[in-house]
Amino acid sequence: MHNHESNIRKTLFTLMLCAVVSVCATAQDLGDGLKLEAEVSGTVSSGDNAPLWLSANKHGKVSPYDNSAYERVGLFRSIDTDSARVWKRGYGIDLMLNQHSTSTFFIQQAYIEAGYMKANLSLGAKERSIDLKNNELTSGGLSAGLNAHPIPQLRLEIDYFSFPGTRGWWKWKMRGSFGMTTDAGWQKDFVRPGTRYTNNTLYHEKALYWKFGKETAKKVPLTFEIGIQMFTQFGGKAYNVAPREVSTQTMTVEMPQNLKAFWRAVFGGGRDATDFTESNNSGNMLGSYNMRLAWHGNTGEENAWEVGAYFERYFEDQSMLTLQYGIQDHLVGVDAKFPKNRFVSAAVIEHMSTRNQSGAVYHDATKSIPDKMNGRDDYYNHNIYTGWQHWGMAIGNPLITSPVYNTDGLIYFENNRVKAWHFGLCGDPTPELHWRLFMTFTQNWGRYTAPFKDKLNQQYYMAEVGYKPAWLKGWSGRLAFGLDHGDLLGNSFGTQLTIHKSFTLTK
């Protein structure tokens, strides 16, 4: 473990312990609802990598490599313990040991949070859900997903509140955060000598959503949510960066971390050291528009059901922010939650396309040629930063092939032009049993600047059954089988067994 990486973890761990001790000393009820979680998991597979759906969308916990395992122990107090109170407080620490992974030790989660009415302030690394999708069955979001290790951050969230005078028919919610990635040591180890890696990369997120309608409306229980979420990688230092102009020399780029840099991370503007004749935004800026239309049936009853359709449109920098380049790239889906039955509880169908990327031509305006063309967006990649990844895993959708799979010692997304169909099902035959089934079919073209010689097809399958016996309180287990077949990541069959124990320390 590198000293830099170790220092970050020690600092975060110390912060967590000090915070927990101090708040517990000042308020006895912060010990209420305390739970201890322990988990072990092992994955065995026949290919060079584990089947995708045995490792993807698990917040980075499961190694993408073959024949791996992990052990976890965590102490948590959910902020929902104080749901009946105006002031709410929660905390958690979650430690992991890993075998055949990107690191042997992780502080997976370490956070404290406090809430007042609709507002919530948190500090640290925490596993979080994604917006407007079924988190258990989706392939993942395009700009924010479930695939990578959490990024430590200071985060303010304001949950849905009614716009004045609308009686709950128009609601808003918003959030914003600043944080820093923790994978500098892994990057330096992963890359071959003389190639690009970064450290101390800063992170910014902001989002705003509107919601129209009421789930509980008697005549028309229809809701429509629409919003935008944006992200920026900024600050830090990048090594062995190639300038945009033709040159055989690489350079070290130290990005600014002053107040102006934070301002530009929020509002845009500025330039990078590698910008040639024309300026672009400072840092790596990306995001997506999200919307969801849903009909809610029997709300609040045992046989409640819901059917919804959602759409996500991804953008990089200023490209795709408007309809100038059409809506060829997207993630669109339909999902349903069925009334209580023994067969199928929920279903998802999604189609994803990232093949267009504003077109194949890019040109910055110059004095001699004033026309600007915003094509060839190169999703998830950046000319200074190592792209939209954390510990080698895509922060967004895992069907855009993560750098951790690269065999050339480079950290970049070799395959970001993808079309995919994804199907997910789950069910609860009994209160003790739960199952999931995934089927995903993809076509892959590589990148505009480095296309595959031929289109590569790849399929990913997963079947999982979970068992939570009533006679063993707090115990649960999952057995999953995964199968990958195709020319992109190759063929692999694997099995994964996970055993979990939850201890309620205080009520």
Whether the pLDDT of residue 25 is over 60: the answer is no
CA 448 from centroid of its chain's CA atoms: 24
- Mean pLDDT, rounded, for 239-243: 89
pLDDT in tens, 451-472: 999 999 999 999 999 999 999 9
pLDDT in tens, 323-359: 777 788 999 999 999 999 999 999 999 999 999 998 6
pLDDT in tens, 288-313: 999 999 999 998 888 899 999 999 99
pLDDT for the residue numbered 26: 46
Whether the pLDDT of residue 363 is over 50: the answer is no
Rounded Cα distance between 45 and 497, Å, is 12
pTM of this prediction? 0.91
- Range in 20-34, 126-140, 189-203, 370-384 with the lowest mean pLDDT: 20-34
Rounded Cα distance between 314 and 291, Å, is 12
Rounded Cα distance between 122 and 145, Å, is 19
- Average pLDDT of the chain is 90
Whether the pLDDT of residue 319 is over 50: the answer is yes
Whether the pLDDT of residue 442 is over 90: the answer is yes
Whether the pLDDT of residue 479 is over 70: the answer is yes
- Range in 56-60, 84-88, 425-429 with the lowest mean pLDDT: 84-88
Whether the pLDDT of residue 366 is over 60: the answer is no
DSSP states of 241-299 as a string?
EPPSSS-S--EEEE---SHHHHHHHHH-----TT--SS---SSEEEEEEEEEEEEEEST
- Mean pLDDT, rounded, for 253-269: 92
Quickly tell me which residue has 């409640």 as its tokens: 304
CA-closest candidate to residue 61, choices 13, 98, 6, 12 = 98
pLDDT in tens, 266-290: 998 877 777 655 556 788 999 999 9
Share of residues in the chain with pLDDT > 90 (%): 79
Tell the CATH topology of 3-504: Porin (2.40.160)
Rounded Cα distance between 426 and 306, Å, is 15
pLDDT for the residue numbered 436: 98
